[in-house]
Amino acid sequence: MDVLVIGGAGYIGSHCVRQLVAAGHRPVVMDNLVFGHRSAVSPEIPFYEADLGDPAAVGEILRKESIELVMHFAAFAYVGESVTEPRKYYENNFVATLRLLEAMLDNGVKKFVFSSTCATYGEPERLPIVESLPQAPINPYGQTKLDVENCLKAFAHAYGLSFAAFRYFNAAGAAEDGSIGEDHSPETHLIPLVIDAATGRREPIKIFGTDYDTPDGTCLRDYVHVDDLSRAHIAAFEKLEAPGVGLFYNLGTGRPNSVREIIKAVEAVTGLKVPVVEDVRRAGDPPALYADSSKAQKELGWEIKFTEVKDIIATAWRWHEANPNGFGD
């Protein structure tokens, strides 16, 4: 299939592009390079530097490249910033996505794969989280993702759009061959920060909160390998053949790991000591988030290759060790 990957130079998007090639599809990348890295995409892949909120540019690419399906990874994803600068989040994550959907419909493209998030659940009333739990985001980031989910439902009903929305837990790790990996600026995610603390590239890791009602007092999260996420997306393609299909899936391993467990795992993988500082809780962090992904496993045949967090961290370490400055741009 000819697939447009918006945000294909970003962390999850660039890994998905490689998985699309491996599965025999033809990815075309569009990225505005605000957060993406040009060198995360192989020079053989058609690449357009454009913005998803620009319907003329999107329309032209859809027609020129005979696109059948669009995957959208181009969101702002800093939870704290979404609280202080919600305009940016509503503008990019919601309004620009609406423009994109309009451009798709205007050009007869009706298959869509959307990156949603476990942040749409807010503080879940039960664990592990199943898709049917109430969604009540506690920050504008999660809210904008939920707003898009609702928009997609309405568009499926009214216009025959077929979509799959994936609610990610904590994407982590890097390509197994070490060719691409995680490089955010600024970096806020736990695993890359712990690795950099271990190598001395950054200051000691701050543990945000040691007094949670969890086994070791630190937050529990569900770390899922970025290539496993990507494979689930591709497995959904055949379900989108019929018009008006709307699918929602959690993507996580279902295995919670605490902040302290991640630090220990990084020490085990790297053989380095991680300097640690215990700090206060970070605002807006739920104590525990982990997935029940049995729906994706049953309906899509999704198989999780990386079930152990150490194996996920080993791929991240391989990338960080070889590329201490990330993509260097």
CA separation for the pair 65, 3 (Å, rounded) = 9
Has 141 been annotated as catalytic?
yes
* 189 contributes a contact to ligand UFG by CB under 6 A: yes
The helix/strand/coil state of 26 is: strand
Cα Rg of the chain, angstroms: 19
Asked whether position 67 contacts ligand UFG by CB under 6 A, the answer is: no
With binding defined as CB under 6 A, does residue 5 bind ligand UFG? no
Query: Considering the rule CB under 6 A, would residue 104 count as an interface residue with ligand UFG?
Result: no
CA distance 28 to 17: 8
3-state SS, residue 221: strand
Rounded to 5 degrees, what angle do the CA atoms 62, 45, 55 make? 25
Contact between 193 and ligand UFG per CB under 6 A = yes
Q: Is 219 in the site for ligand UFG (CB under 6 A)?
A: yes
Binding residue for ligand UFG, selected from 88, 282, 295, 310, defined by CB under 6 A: 282
Within the chain, where are the H helices? 11-22, 55-64, 79-84, 86-89, 96-106, 140-159, 190-199, 226-235, 259-270, 294-300, 309-322
Chain-centroid distance of CA 169 in Å reads 8
114-143 positions binding ligand UFG, by CB under 6 A = 117-119, 141
- Region from 84-92, 102-110, 113-121, 248-256 binding ligand UFG, contact rule CB under 6 A: 113-121
Catalytic residue among 141, 212, 223, 290, which?
141
173: left (phi over 0), alpha (psi -120 to 50) or beta: left
In angstroms, the CA 36 to CA 276 distance is 30
Q: Give the shortest CB-83-to-ligand UFG separation in angstroms.
A: 12
Please pick, from the candidates 97, 170, 253, 257, the single residue that binds ligand UFG as defined by CB under 6 A. 170
Q: Which stretch binds ligand UFG (CB under 6 A): 19-27, 61-69, 206-214, 291-299?
A: 206-214
CB 225 within 8 A of CB 232: no
Choose, by CB under 6 A, the member of 158, 188, 268, 321 that binds ligand UFG.
Answer: 188
To ligand UFG, the closest distance from the beta carbon of 226 in angstroms equals 12
Would you please indicate which residues are annotated as catalytic (active-site) residues? 141
| Site of interaction with ligand UFG (CB under 6 A) | 77, 79, 117-119, 141, 170, 188-190, 193, 205-208, 219, 221, 259, 282, 285, 289
